[in-house]
Amino acid sequence: MKTQSLSWLALPVLLLLGGCPEGGGGDGGFGNGGGISSRIAYVANSGSNNVSGYTIATTGALTTIGGSPFSGVTAPSAVTVSADGSFVYVTNHGGANSVSAFTVNSTTGALTPVAGSPFAAGTTPNAVTVSPNGSYLYVANGGGNVSAYTITAGTGALTPVAGSPFAAGTTPNAVTVSPNGSYLYVANAGGNVSAYTITAGTGALTPVAGSPFAAGTTPNAVTVSPNGSYLYVANAGGNVSAYTITAGTGALTPVAGSPFAAGTTPNAVTISPNGNFLYVTNGSSNNVSMFTIDGTGALTSPATIAADTSPSGVSIDPNGLFLYVANGGSNNVSAYTITAGTGALTPVSGALGNPFSAETTPSGIATPGRP
């Protein structure tokens, strides 16, 4: 997924993006108690200080949720939705240095601020993710650390984990948790990836031996494959670094052939729920790079498809049928159908409203559990 400040619009200003957890997204509908059967998606709009909410139709079309856009955020940089669809979390820039938390109405998808929201974070929170089990939330702060919180069941309120914040590298840009909830990874703009083990029961972070691991130029986004075997980093320098994840330790080893060429200024990355396909948004070439993931974790069969202006975030619906791109320069969302078996993207019909309107300067997009 992603989820960022649109700094790549004016390089060399800092590139900021939220990460994309790959834990799947459930079986349809809302995990917090029945309600509408359509999927939900949310877009953080950094220019208008709000969050757009949508339901996803069986055609892939987006319909604006009643009451959208939702306030309660300040210069939002990233957005994530818990895997069960119960809560939405948004990181706030603009000096706010906080995380806004919302409950999701199980019937309509409307957002209501959690009591106590926003919650304090570190300096320049750039990215946010929820652990697959919904117990913990992590924020990558551009100031050089990771804020960790426990999520109160039923309310979504955040409580700092003992020892938080935890030191990271130079300018953390993105964060993700492995599908088994054992490891956390942070992409640092300084050119590497910080890796941690997550302590079961507390959510505390401990650096993995050998961390940080070298990446490409200005890592901008990070994601883990659904089977937990591979990690991918979108580097603003124009490529994707790929790694195998050592079972039991979480250490990273570069995949043969890595890095793999992408478009201009990659800034967001996501993987299909079946683990077969990887997608990267390229902020300066206004397109999406598509790859097949082979049995070694290598990226093959590269292709591209046009997006709108300055794509800034990407997410896939939990069923793996549709892909959505938030376009920061054109204030809208491009929607695509994912072809089963090949992963090829086909734009959803323009007759259905594609691309779909958002508010000002979308900075990220998320569906339940992704990112």
Neighbouring C-beta atoms of residue 195, cutoff 10 Å: 27
Q: Is 209 exposed, middle or buried (0-12, 13-18, 19+ CB in 10 A)?
A: exposed
Check pLDDT > 80 for residue 236. Answer: yes
Check pLDDT > 60 for residue 32. Answer: no
The rounded distance, in Å, linking the Cα atoms of 52 and 191 is 32
| pLDDT at residue number 232 | 98
- Which run of H or E residues covers position 367? none
Cβ density class 281-307: b for 16+ within 10 Å, e for less: bbbbbbbbbbbebeeebbbeeeeebeb
Check pLDDT > 70 for residue 340. Answer: yes
**Who's near 340: CB < 8 A, 6+ residues apart?**
none
Neighbouring C-beta atoms of residue 227, cutoff 10 Å: 14
Check pLDDT > 70 for residue 33. Answer: no
Arithmetic mean of pLDDT over the chain: 91
Query: Which token pair is 159?
Result: 């409580």
Confidence of residue 371 (pLDDT cuts 50, 70, 90): low
- pLDDT (mean) for 91-100: 96
Q: Is 152 exposed, middle or buried (0-12, 13-18, 19+ CB in 10 A)?
A: middle
Distance of CA 189 to the CA centre of its chain: 16
Per-residue pLDDT reduced to its tens digit, 137-186: 999 999 999 999 999 999 999 999 999 999 999 999 999 999 999 999 99
Confidence of residue 29 (pLDDT cuts 50, 70, 90): very low
Domains and CATH numbers, the chain: 7-366 (2.130.10.10)
Q: What DSSP letter does each residue of 210-257 carry, written as one string?
A: T-SEE-SSSEEEEEE-TTSSEEEEEETTTEEEEEEEPTTT--EEEPTT
Check pLDDT > 80 for residue 268. Answer: yes
Q: Select the more confidently predicted residue: 10 or 114.
A: 114
Per-residue pLDDT reduced to its tens digit, 202-224: 999 999 999 999 999 999 999 99
Check pLDDT > 60 for residue 11. Answer: no
